């Protein structure tokens, strides 16, 4: 029987590359989105046309009820949830005093509470199965901090803390909880960064290039596979060596 994965925030970027990779490897894939119905629909139908098993599901992961429905509907549709990839995230650049309360709350609500909500909702399912893989998408800024991204960095540091704590809590139930921590990856999240800033950033990346979404998807896929069965509570950096 095919395994099932939910990839939150997979209408584009890293999530879309991850959804595509898992679908190509034979997983049933739930493509979750919140606002981007059109791009989620486009991705879902293009994969379905290739005979792959995917469905789209709208849910705002920052809302516990919606996260619970996402899990419940996936279970109803596919009968098991083998892997949850908590990828949905948002960012905003600005000095701490230039970011309004609504915007900073939203960053914490989506990036940290969203991961917490989906983990909370999926845990009873995976404990009951006595198996499962949870992979959280953190960020290198959650490890070393970024100026002008204080809320974002703090939310991602929280994701790393959550990953380690939940790994300990769920290990006795044979559930692995790990994180990937991307560096600068070419997605719409970085669309507003100027070419000059990107060029100077690349100079500081030992592998000499910005990452592609598939670079992160490959690490996520490894953490979902049997090859990582003895790995839990870890953070895998995917940053071209930017922080070592």
Catalytically annotated residues: 152
Q: Where are the beta strands (DSSP E) in 16-94?
A: 28-33, 54-58, 83-86
Write out the residues near ligand NAP by the rule CB under 6 A: 8-15, 32-36, 60-62, 87-91, 110, 114, 137, 139, 182, 184-185, 187-190
Q: Which is nearer to ligand NAP, 127 or 150 (CB)?
A: 150
Choose between 25 and 143: whose C-beta lies nearer to ligand NAP.
Answer: 143
Report residue 83: phi and psi, to 5°: -150, 135
- Cβ distance to ligand NAP smaller for residue 127 or 235: 235
d(CA 22, CA 159): 23
In the complex, minimum distance from the CB of residue 130 to ligand NAP, in angstroms, rounded to a whole number: 28
Q: Which runs of E-coded beta strand occur in 171-238? A: 175-182, 235-238
Tokens representing residue 71 in the block: 């899990």
Shortest distance (Å) from residue 205 CB to ligand NAP: 12
CB of 113 to ligand NAP, least distance (A): 10
Whichever of 54 and 171 has its CB closer to ligand NAP, that residue is 54
DSSP state letters, 68-89: HHHHHHHHHHHS---EEEE---
Cα separations in angstroms, 78 against 28, 65, 131, 229: 7, 20, 16, 23
147: closest CA among 196, 184, 96, 109?
A: 96
The distance of closest approach from Cβ of residue 201 to ligand NAP in the complex, given in angstroms and rounded to an integer, is 10
């Amino acid at each position: 029987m095919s395994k099932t994965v939910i990839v939150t925030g997979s209408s584009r970027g890293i999530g879309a590359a991850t959804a595509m990779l898992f679908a190509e490897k034979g997983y049933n894939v739930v493509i979750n989105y919140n606002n981007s119905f059109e791009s989620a629909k486009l991705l879902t139908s293009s994969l379905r046309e290739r005979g792959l098993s995917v469905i789209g599901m709208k849910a705002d992961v920052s809302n516990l009820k919606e996260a619970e429905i996402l899990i419940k509907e996936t279970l109803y549709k596919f009968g098991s949830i083998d892997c949850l990839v908590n990828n949905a995230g948002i960012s905003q650049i600005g000095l701490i005093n230039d970011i309004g309360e609504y915007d900073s709350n939203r960053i914490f609500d989506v990036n940290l509470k969203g991961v917490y909500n989906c983990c909370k909702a999926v845990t009873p399912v995976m404990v009951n199965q006595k198996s499962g893989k949870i992979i959280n998408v953190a960020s290198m800024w959650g490890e070393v901090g970024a100026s002008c991204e204080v809320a974002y960095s703090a939310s991602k540091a929280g994701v790393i803390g959550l990953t380690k704590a939940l790994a300990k809590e769920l290990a006795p139930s044979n559930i692995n909880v790990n994180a990937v921590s991307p560096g600068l990856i070419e997605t719409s999240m970085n669309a507003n960064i100027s070419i000059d800033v990107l060029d100077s950033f690349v100079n500081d990346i030992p592998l000499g290039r910005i990452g592609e979404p598939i670079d992160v998807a490959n690490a996520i896929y490894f953490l979902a596979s049997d090859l990582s069965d003895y790995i839990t509570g870890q953070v895998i950096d995917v940053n071209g060596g930017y922080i070592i």
